[in-house]
Amino acid sequence: MSDIEVKMTEPETVVYVPMSGAYDQVPEALGRLYGWVAQHGLQPAGMPSAVYLTDPATVPVANARWEVCAPVVGGAAPAPVDEAGCGIRDDGPQLVASLMFRGPYEEMGPAYADLFAWTAANGYTVVGPPKEVYFSDPSSTPATEYLTEIRFPVAKI
């Protein structure tokens, strides 16, 4: 685990797919997402991510709500979710507390706990759902080497 930092994210245009249920659907959702991006002639502009809209500690996985996102080169007009399940939105800059985690996704729990404790201890409050930005391709990277940035949107108390 790396050091925790507070930073302002850059604004970005993202294609997103709202999802519900088990998180093991992420690979299928990303495939659908990037297929849609290619089909619509959009150009990816960064690493894929997921936003977790419900808390797995309090919401059963069957009721989990989350989304996968792919940043695309600007200029794509915002659009609601279509019949294929994909939409486009502009995400503005956001103050986040973040850390880089190296290892299997299922072992990120302690990193989340550390980041949450750090925010409270350093005068911040979490103001939105966490986001994971994925820097590794699971099809070609050993799970012990996955690199994921965990971001909590924060505000200074």
Residue 75: which domain range?
5-156
For residue 138, is pLDDT > 80? yes
Q: What are the tens digits of pLDDT across the range 58-67?
A: 999 999 999 9
Question: Residue 126: which of 139, 138, 135, 117 has the closest Cα?
Answer: 117
72 pLDDT more than 60 = yes
**DSSP letter assigned to residue 53:** -
CATH number of the domain at 46, please.
3.20.80.10
Average pLDDT across the chain, whole number:
95
- Give the amino acid at 40: H
Q: Count other Cβ atoms within 10 Å, centred on residue 31.
A: 11
Residue 75 has pLDDT above 80, yes or no: no
Domain count, the chain: 1
pLDDT digit string (tens) for 89-130? 999 999 999 999 999 999 999 999 999 999 999 999 999 999
pTM of the shown model: 0.95
* Contact yes or no for 44/68 (Cβ under 8 A): no
